[in-house]
Structure formats: C-alpha cells, structure tokens
Amino acid sequence: MYRDTRREHIVRLLRNKEECTVSDLAHYFSVTKETIRTDLAWLQKRGMVIRHHGGVSLKKHLMQNALSQQEYVDMSLLIKQQQQGIGFLTSLDDKGHRMAGKVCVLGSFNVDIVAKVYRFPHEGETLVAKETTMGPGGKGANQALAAHRAGAQIHFACKIGRDQFNHFARNHIESIGIGSFTFYESERSTTGCAVIYVNNEGENMIAMSPGANHELSDNDIIQLSHFIAESNVFIVQMENNLAATHLALKCAKQMQVTTILNPAPWSIDVATLLPYVDIVTPNETEASAMSGMVINDISDAMKAAKHIHNAGQCSVIITMGKQGALIYDGQQCAHIPAFSAVAVDTTGAGDAFNGALAAALAKGESLVKAAWYASAFASLAVEKEGAANMPDISLVDARIQQQNVAIQTF
C-alpha cells in the first residue's frame, strides 16, 4: 500500500473508531510502529488528528461544538475550517492547484428488490414474476459507480442503518473499487430499500422506502465538507432529506465547486435548491413538473429548459430517452440525438447519465461535450440488467467511434 493511501485509510479508520493505538495501526497495515508514527506526525501537522500517548484520535471540527449551541450553521466558519481538513489527500498538484477529475457524490444507498414481469400489474392484480433479484442501488450509489467507471476519482457519502444490509452496502462500495467513501449510520432507521418492476420492454416502476437516507444531519455535512471542497464537481439527488441536501449545496456553492442537482424523485422542494445549483438534470416528467409545460418533442423541451433556467439561473439538461438530451446554458440550446441501444433495463439510465456527466465535467469537458459523452455512456447502461451495472470506459469510447452522433445547436 502506498504511503498516501495508507494515510487516507488511517483517517477513514478514525472516522469509524474515533481512536486507535499505534500498535493496532501497525498490525493493521503490516508496517512498523515507526512508520505509523511518521504517518501520524504528518497528519497532525496538517490539523487532521490529535496524537496521544501510544495512540491517536481524529481531530473534531470546532463547527460540531458550535452546532450544539446554535440553530444555524456559520458558513464562513465552515469554509475556513475545511482548509485545515482532509479530503482525497492527493488533491493538489505540485503548484498547489486542484487536480481535475474529482467528483463528490452525496446521495442514497438502497437495497433494490427487482421483479421482472411480462407487463406491469393493474390495480389489485397479482402477477407471477419471471425472476426476482436483490442487489445494490440508490441514485447516489449508482451515480457514484457511473462516475467511477467513467474515469473520475470519487468520494461517495450516504447514510445507512445498523441492520442486516449495513455490511451489504459497505461490501458493495469496496468491491466496485471506490476507495474513498463515508458511511454515516442511523441508530433508529433501516437502510433504504426500493421495490422495482421491470417489464419486457425494459421499462420500470419503482416504490422506495428512504429509511436512513432521510436522516443526514448538519454534522454529517460538515464532516463531508473537506471532500466537497477538494472536488471539481459535487452532485446530489432528491433521495436524501431536504435540509441536508440544501446545506451541502450551499456549502459547495460557496466553495466554488461546480454543483449538479438531479431532481429525482420529483418534489416541489426542488425550487428551493436551484439558487445553489449550476446544472440541473431533469428527465421529461421532472422538467414538465418544474416548468408547468407538457413535453412531447424537442421544441417543447427547449421552451421548458428556458423556463427552468429563468427560474433558477442555472444550466438545464433535459434527458428524453429515445429523443436524446436537450441542453440550455442560458445562451444557446443544443440537442444530442440518442445513441442507438438495445434496451434491456432502463432503471439506471438516468443515474448512468448523471454520473458520467459529472465525471466528464470534472475532467474539464464543456457542458455540451460532457452531456454528449454521458449520452453514450447511458446508452450502454440500458443494455445491462440492473441499475448498478455500469459500462467500462473502453466500451463507451468504442460506442462513440461506432456511432456518428452529431451535436445540433440552436
């Protein structure tokens, strides 16, 4: 294990255990105590840990104490403190500039129970499913996986219960290769769960129980602020509680990190978040709810996008399935026709698009070029079963070369 990776893992251990001894750390990493002491000295110098006789603890934010004494969060204090914290650890280049390609995802983790049916059931009807499976899901986890597969460095944060699905969630994130993540735990709620029907055409219907996803606290967001600050792009959805999502977006905006809001599932509360959003990514249904307009074609989408932009002063990307995607940045509209795909399961199409979009933006692509790349990525995702099955970057490059999908501007 490389030195920087080991130091990041030390901090992650301290987030979970609060305190560790030098002996335990040396045994855990299979290194000498002297090596651990050198690591701890480096971390202490940067204000990340406090060393004790024979051990170490994670330095608590002054902000956490302040929260217990007041009802509001002092954003200026939060921003000042994030400069002393730890994030991706390798976030700055030799000249002190933020390195490109870092995406922080705050979102949900759900256990998905998927039933494959010939058609959707009618009210009161019982159907025999062709197959039923259980797997990892949640818009946050899916988008983090998509951004990871699209080549970005990821930090994923979510809240789960202390139940039978706790280890399931942790094992999933570790197994897919996301090496930087934060799992907050709820003492009173279970891990989120979603029941999904998928029909023969690959269309889906979803019912979700948010559970611990709705219990993110101000303290949780404050602990996450270091990772937000060191990211190029920060992305959220609407599967967490509104107050935490609002605070996280406000934090990221003031730290001048590009913010993306995927307004799904739709809620009227989306309007309160738009002042802190750089890019909003509704699908047709969500864009109709946001604009009050029925969307049938590209012309309708263009009008709706302009309405949403005027209301929130943010760039708008409306994903439209087989009709592609419509982008409006306040000055120009662009349409990206859909990449050809044989749809097997559209459950994770939106998450694939949003994760790949965030990754491409983090690596410096323009909004339109990033959306074009995300469209190719999503076209491959729908050809796989399960919302958590995302394509490899090599397959995306091959699809782009095989299909000459041209961007149209208006």
Annotated binding site, which residues? 110-112, 138-142, 239, 283, 319-324, 345, 347, 350-351, 381, 384, 386
Q: Which residues are annotated as a binding site for ATP?
A: 283, 319-324, 350-351
| Known catalytic membership, residue 39 | no
Tokens of 176: 């897919």
Helix (H) or strand (E) holding 233: strand 233-236
End-to-end CA distance of the chain: 51
Q: Which residue, chain included where needed, has tokens 């045994």? A: 27
**Separation CA 130–CA 44 (nearest Å):** 57
Helix (H) or strand (E) holding 333: strand 333-336
Q: Which residue(s) pair with 131 in the sheet?
A: 116
Strands 102-106, 131-137: pairing is unpaired
Tokens of 163: 């139940």
CA angle 107, 307, 360 (to 5 degrees): 40
Strands 279-280, 315-319: pairing is parallel
Report the 10 Å Cβ neighbour count for 51. Answer: 14
Q: Which residue, chain included where needed, has tokens 């990776």? A: 5
Q: Which residues are annotated as a binding site for substrate?
A: 110-112, 138-142, 239, 351
Amino acid present at 133: T
Tokens of 251: 């934090």
Q: Helix, strand or coil for residue 232?
A: coil
For the chain, the C-alpha Rg in angstroms (whole number) is 22
**Separation CA 275–CA 98 (nearest Å):** 25
Q: Which residues are annotated as a binding site for K(+)?
A: 345, 347, 381, 384, 386
Active-site residue, selected from the candidate residues 163, 351, 392, 397? 351
Helix (H) or strand (E) holding 28: helix 22-29
Report the 10 Å Cβ neighbour count for 372. Answer: 25
**Separation CA 311–CA 40 (nearest Å):** 49
- Of the CA atoms within 13 Å of residue 365, those in its CB half-sphere come to 19
CA angle 393, 394, 400 (to 5 degrees): 90
| Residues carrying an active site annotation | 351
